[in-house]
Copies of this chain bind each other. A is one copy, B any other.
């Protein structure tokens, strides 16, 4: 919280016991909490112990405590995805932002293989302050976007693919290698990190 963000608890490599112990400490100090990367099973078990919490199945996030109120009237961050398979991670970014009171909009399935779908939405996209662009496979979406709009664009590579693109490394490296100027990138599937980067930008 020293840098103004709700501490997120990374749930993937922790046992239920470890997570629940940490959450109890937060509750005692009346702090809100965000747990990420939970399986459905883990999420539901935690709900039993923390009935006031909310489990967000698509993103695998659990929130404890109220979402901060949105102050802006329109979306500040637009989150784009190349395909339907990217929705889980995009959703993690969305919840992390909404939890901090940032209004978001999610545009699904605007990948570069069907360029017109992206071009059709470009004016709408230009109205946001920050863009998070999710893409798996070759990860070309943020590159194309960065040539079309002047806003900050955060490339969010997704571990969706197979063969050479399995695990998301090709998407990650494609974004880093981008010929479009000023694209920044976060780790594969790091929806929370992309959200926090957007928050840092919004507070400048």
Name A's B-contacting residues (CB within 8 A).
2-5, 8, 10, 12-14, 18, 22, 37, 82-85, 87, 111-116, 129-130, 136-140, 143-144, 146-154, 157, 159-190, 192-193, 195-204
Number of copies: 8
- Chain B contacts for A188, CB-based, 8 A: 162-164
New contact pairs (20) apart from A2-B148, A137-B178, A138-B173, CB-CB < 8 Å:
A8-B181, A14-B84, A82-B179, A112-B179, A113-B146, A113-B178, A137-B179, A138-B174, A144-B144, A152-B204, A163-B187, A164-B176, A170-B177, A173-B173, A178-B187, A181-B196, A182-B198, A183-B186, A183-B197, A185-B185
Chain B residues with CB below 8 A from A203, complex form: 150-151
A173 near B181 with CB under 8 A, answer no
Chain B residue with Cβ nearest A116: B2
Question: Which residue of B84, B137, B162 contacts A18 across the interface (Cβ within 8 Å)?
Answer: B84
